[in-house]
Structure 1
Amino acid sequence: MALSRSGRDRRWEEAVVKREQSTGATLTPELIVTTALRLADAEGDPNKITIRRIAAELGVGPMSLYTYFRNKDTILDGMADHALGRMKFEESPDAGPAAAIRSLASALLSTMQEHPSIARLFAARQTDSQGALHGSMEIPLRRLVDAGIPGPLAVKCYGFLITFAIGFSSYQAPRPWGLSEAGAEAQEMRRQRQHLYAGLPKTEFPLVVELAEEIVDIPSARLFNYGVEALIASVLQELQHAESRN
């Protein structure tokens, strides 16, 4: 006889309890967040993970997670806090405006490549978490201002870079040949895509056919860096104009 929903739920809960007892792992907010982030990255979409799925992965009951987090939204905030609070910057703030912009651009893109769900998270929701805001906004702005970029201009730089990184990483995700460490399979995807562009009817797609090799490189770091350097040129010009007026 088929189990009722409540019967299935009881069986599921009993199985989880047995797993929890057998693993003996210590549940912590950090463990919950890193597990949720790993699951979301695997899916590419944080909206697809649930409290129950996170709990099952940890081998605990769903109610155990509510000891540390009020709801799923606070777990999502914790994921953003975890990822963005660990951004790695290549240059020190005193290296100047250009280096600070390049460093922030690289840190944002690397974080979103390492954690694909973070780009989706930022595109789909806002956060009120002070921890997430500190990692994603306060620290980047501080680095730009400390590098000599006035506050209002630093906000423009930050806004450009984070939206550019979100959009670029989202575009790059299904086009893995753009990654610098792309393997043979990804390179074969690139070859096939270029072949597709080059094989389009030339009467209807003359430019796409002619520029197939360049178009297929759109998801590469070269194009991302092109956008960053264009921003830097604009910022340096604005700083020079401001200095000449003083």
Structure 2
Amino acid sequence: MPASRTSRTSLPRSTVTREHIIEAATRIADEESIEALTIRRLAADVGSGAMTLYSYFRNKEEILDAIADHVLGGFTLPPAEETEPRAVVQSLASAFLRMMREHPSIVRLFTTRVTTSPDSLRGAMEAVVGRLREVGFEGREAVQAYGLIVHYTLGFASYQAPRPWGKPDLPDVEELCRQRTHFYSALPLAEFPNLVSLAGDVTTLPSDEQFQFGLDCLLDGLLRRIQAN
């Protein structure tokens, strides 16, 4: 008789904890989608009944709040090796973008809810503002620099998410870029003269190169403003 099929995260009912549930929920939301995350699916994934989940969370919204708190609370500051303001903002922006790539669900959660747990405030806000103040951003300037980092990376991550040819970690990214460039270059020339002639450049819009270009422009303006004040 063949062994029964179980979830890869299946645990004895007595060992299912809030942390196990949050980790499984985060994985489903990241690897599939927030829509794919249902109470029934999550219960099956952790190897428990739905009532076990309801003993920790009243509904899916509370689970989504917990995912946001879990991911933001786990944000790790880059090593404090840089002391120059520009380099620090660069490293922080790169760290936020990396977090959003590793946890694509956080991009949507960031725009649909406000997280107020001590862990999320400490990890993704308090520590970041503190690092900015350490390297010379004073008071309100530190908060404004924080806002620039979060708003820019969130916007870029949202744009990049459905465009795989902009993701450098994918093994077939070169082929995806080639296909996208071909798509733009094959458009009717009379209707899209700019997209056709600049097909290769248009393909780079969701790339890290574009992210760096935009960040450099923002930093040029930010640092000039701070120096002027």
TM-score with structure 2 setting the length: 0.86
Q: 2:177 matched to 1:193?
A: no
Q: Bigger CA drift: 166-175 or 64-73?
A: 64-73
Q: Secondary structure at the match of 2:217?
A: helix
Whether the 8 Å contact between 1:91 and 1:99 is mirrored in structure 2 is no
CA distance in 2, matches of 1:165, 1:239: 21
Whether the 8 Å contact between 2:165 and 2:180 is mirrored in structure 1 is no
Aligned length: 222
Q: 2:154 matched to 1:149?
A: no
- Aligned residue for 2:17? 28
AA matched with 1:202? L
CA distance in 2, matches of 1:69, 1:63: 10
Percent identity of equivalent pairs:
44
CA distance in 2, matches of 1:66, 1:147: 45
> Stretches of 4+ moved more than 4 A in 1?
none
CA distance in 2, matches of 1:56, 1:107: 33
Q: How far is 1:36 from its partner?
A: 0.3
Q: Secondary structure at the match of 2:111?
A: helix
Whether the 8 Å contact between 1:40 and 1:48 is mirrored in structure 2 is yes
AA matched with 1:192? Q
Q: How far is 1:23 from its partner?
A: 4.1
Q: 2:226 matched to 1:239?
A: yes
Q: Bigger CA drift: 80-89 or 49-58?
A: 80-89
Q: Bigger CA drift: 208-217 or 195-204?
A: 195-204
- Aligned residue for 1:73? 61
For residues 39-59 of structure 1, give each alpha carbon's deviation from its aligned partner in whole angstroms, at most 9, with x where no partner exists.
Answer: 001223x24412222111101
AA matched with 2:73? G
Whether the 8 Å contact between 2:107 and 2:154 is mirrored in structure 1 is yes
Q: 2:223 matched to 1:223?
A: no
AA matched with 1:80? A
Whether the 8 Å contact between 2:97 and 2:153 is mirrored in structure 1 is yes
Q: Which has the higher helix share?
A: 1
AA matched with 1:148? G
1:165 to 153, 165, 181: 153
TM-score with structure 1 setting the length: 0.81
- Aligned residue for 1:204? 191
Q: Gaps spanning 5+ residues in structure 2: where? A: none
- Aligned residue for 1:40? 29
CA distance in 2, matches of 1:23, 1:239: 54
- Aligned residue for 1:63? 51
CA RMSD in angstroms, aligned pairs only: 2.3
CA distance in 1, matches of 2:116, 2:73: 15
CA distance in 2, matches of 1:163, 1:192: 30
CA distance in 1, matches of 2:227, 2:125: 26
Q: Bigger CA drift: 90-99 or 109-118?
A: 90-99
CA distance in 2, matches of 1:154, 1:106: 17
Q: Secondary structure at the match of 1:81?
A: helix
- Aligned residue for 1:89? 77
CA distance in 2, matches of 1:94, 1:106: 14
Q: Gaps spanning 5+ residues in structure 1: where? A: 1-14
Whether the 8 Å contact between 2:72 and 2:119 is mirrored in structure 1 is no
For residues 25-45 of structure 1, give each alpha carbon's deviation from its aligned partner in whole angstroms, at most 9, with x where no partner exists.
Answer: 61122211110000001223x
